[in-house]
Amino acid sequence: MAESYSFSCDCGAVEFTVKGAPKVRGFCHCADCRNFLKVPYHSVDVWEKDQLTVGKGADRLVEFQHPHKKMKRFFCSECGDTLFNSNSADWRVVSQLLVRRNNGGELPDTLAPQNHFHYGERIVDIDDDLPKRA
């Protein structure tokens, strides 16, 4: 059976499902994530655009386009919760915090982080055993 994960925003108005293994799972330390999302680094599971289906509330899913970068943030118009964002490759980037919240507070092993990315751009040093890539 193929992997499949379902998520919803805080208020439940918007639901989406991703199918298949994520392309990337890890921590992104790039300046773009930091500036766009106001996080010190972004813990993410990333799927391709066509792996993600909005099952409910597509009319409440608002797309915010970054003023000059190829990045978007997708959030619920009812509760303001961010469901995912997209990167320059138009992949769908889901926060592992949202994954946890939709999975009883746990991160499934299949979605656990494997790497640190853009570690050279970091503002926070991480003392763990995961590979750290520039």
- Interface residues with Zn ion (CB under 5 A)? 9, 11, 13, 28, 30, 33, 76, 78-79
3 or 80: CB nearest Zn ion: 80
Q: Give the shortest CB-67-to-Zn ion separation in angstroms.
A: 17
The pairs formed by 101-105 with CB atoms below 8 angstroms and a separation of 24 or more are 102/5, 102/6, 102/7, 102/8
Q: Give the shortest CB-12-to-Zn ion separation in angstroms.
A: 6
Instruction: For residues 91 and 24, give the distance between their C-alpha atoms in angstroms, rounded to a whole number.
Output: 10
3 or 89: CB nearest Zn ion: 89
Q: Give the shortest CB-1-to-Zn ion separation in angstroms.
A: 29
Q: Nearest to residue 28, comparing CAs of 80, 77, 71?
A: 71
3 or 65: CB nearest Zn ion: 65
